[in-house]
């Protein structure tokens, strides 16, 4: 039994849009054709088929009307008439003519089924691209030119696949339906099954004089460049959508979209959480003890920050407005600095003597953390 669209994406039937999008992005990254360019042909083709399957499931489940039809009828195209008692499930809601209604009834009893029109317009597939940014490119924003290939309607034949001046003929084997019925005898009697017409490959039409530019496909592959302006503050995992820039549709259907997935390389100092930034900063033992001023690195340059007297390791200092910019807003997150007091090493004899004298001069009240620790240990 074929997997449901929910199983393909690994989500539950009551999954929200953001859950579906998240699952789709994860799987699309895993099976993106670009990752299999140098793989064996069988593995590459399997990944391409899986990618198409994931993409189709995503298109259906993120379209409210298609998803509702799929949930109710098991097909995004609406009710599918099949044999048996449940075959007449569409009712009279569409106000079909009586002739059509009776035709449907008798077709169902014969084991046939009504399929979607193979010549109906269909939307083109989406194209997924990746834009990899450095941390500072995500801070400031950046322009990227992304090279890609897409299917475009053949300009010579206009998508018909036929040579200019000629026309495609209706397939005589399936009468333009794109499907053929095969009768087989079984222990339950005669069973009628439907399969894709082998003559027209399900298109319903046969091109006898093909267009040489597209070899009868109706579309050609062209190399293109997408001019992509990434806004400041863009985060890892976000997707930028360019409507109608994907692969061309079929039978005059609309083109798909381009989805640009953003990947931001990690930085060695800054860690991002939402729009706030976090950094661990070592400070001198004497500044932590006496207080002073330090230069805190920020994505926008050094920032003078006062360090209070007696600052301890693990203390957190909040610097407002030095985090990441909010998308489409003139607002910024904050920068949180976790202090790490550095203990000096390789002391000279004079320095050791000075520190010993200093330590002996301290009272227990000047080292509350140590005193509290040992009080707890005694208990």
| CATH at residue 44 | 1.10.287.110
Q: Which of 45, 79, 113 is the last residue of a domain?
A: 79
Q: Which of 79, 103, 128 is the last residue of a domain?
A: 79
Confidence at residue 286, expressed as pLDDT on a 0 to 100 scale: 87
Is residue 43 domain-resident? yes
Residues in the chain: 379
Is residue 355 domain-resident? yes
Confidence at residue 340, expressed as pLDDT on a 0 to 100 scale: 92
Sign of the torsion formed by the C-alpha atoms of 194, 195, 201 and 203: positive
Is residue 240 domain-resident? no
| Res. 269 pLDDT band, cuts 50 70 90 | very high
**Per the structure, how many domains does the chain have?**
2
Q: Which of 51, 79, 107 is the last residue of a domain?
A: 79
Which tens digit of pLDDT belongs to each residue from 167-194? 778 888 888 888 888 777 666 666 777 7
| Res. 48 pLDDT band, cuts 50 70 90 | confident
Per the structure, the complete domain to which residue 16 belongs is given by: 1-79
Letter string b/e over residues 152-167, b meaning 16 or more CB atoms within 10 A of that residue's CB: bbbeebebbbbbeeee
CATH number at residue 358: 2.60.260.20
Is residue 348 domain-resident? yes
Report the distance separating Cα 95 and Cα 107, nearest Å.
18
Is residue 130 domain-resident? no
Is residue 27 domain-resident? yes
| Res. 320 pLDDT band, cuts 50 70 90 | very high
Report the distance separating Cα 9 and Cα 145, nearest Å.
30
Is residue 317 domain-resident? yes
Instruction: Report the alpha-carbon angle 59-78-64, nearest 5.
Output: 40
| Res. 25 pLDDT band, cuts 50 70 90 | confident
Is residue 339 domain-resident? yes
Q: Which of 1-15, 95-109, 124-138, 171-185 has the highest mean pLDDT?
A: 124-138
């Amino acid at each position: 039994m074929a997997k449901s669209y929910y199983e393909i994406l690994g989500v539950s039937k009551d999954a929200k849009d953001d859950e579906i999008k998240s699952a789709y992005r994860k799987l699309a990254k895993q099976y993106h054709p670009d990752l299999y360019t140098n793989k064996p042909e069988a593995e590459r083709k399997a990944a391409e088929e899986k990618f198409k399957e994931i993409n189709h499931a995503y298109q259906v489940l993120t379209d409210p009307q298609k998803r509702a039809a799929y949930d109710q009828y098991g097909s995004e195209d609406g009710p599918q008439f099949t044999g048996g008692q449940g075959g007449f499930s569409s009712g009279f809601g569409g106000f079909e003519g009586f002739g059509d209604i009776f035709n449907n009834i008798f077709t169902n009893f014969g084991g046939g089924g009504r399929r979607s029109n193979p010549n109906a317009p269909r939307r083109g597939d989406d194209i997924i691209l990746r834009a990899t940014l450095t941390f500072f490119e995500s801070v400031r924003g950046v322009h990227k030119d992304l090279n890609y290939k897409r299917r475009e309607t053949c300009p010579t034949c206009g998508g018909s696949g036929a040579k200019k001046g000629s026309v495609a003929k209706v397939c005589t084997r399936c009468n333009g339906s794109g499907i053929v019925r095969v009768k087989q005898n079984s222990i339950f009697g005669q069973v009628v099954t439907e399969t894709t017409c082998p003559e027209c490959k399900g298109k319903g039409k046969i091109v006898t004089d093909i267009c040489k530019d597209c070899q009868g496909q109706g579309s050609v592959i062209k190399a293109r460049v997408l001019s992509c302006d990434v806004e400041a503050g863009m985060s890892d995992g976000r997707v930028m959508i360019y409507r109608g820039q994907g692969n061309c549709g079929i039978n005059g259907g609309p083109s798909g979209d381009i989805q640009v997935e953003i990947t931001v390389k990690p930085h060695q100092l800054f860690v991002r959480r939402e729009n706030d930034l976090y950094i661990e900063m070592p400070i001198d033992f004497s500044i932590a003890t006496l207080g002073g001023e330090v230069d805190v690195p920020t994505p926008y340059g050094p920032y003078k920050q006062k360090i209070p007297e007696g600052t301890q390791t693990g203390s957190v200092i909040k610097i407002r407005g030095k985090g990441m910019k909010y998308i489409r807003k003139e607002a910024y997150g904050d920068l949180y600095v976790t202090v790490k007091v550095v203990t000096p090493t390789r002391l000279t004899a004079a320095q050791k003597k000075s520190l010993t004298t200093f330590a002996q001069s301290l009272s227990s009240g000047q080292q509350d953390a140590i005193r509290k620790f040992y009080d707890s240990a005694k208990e």
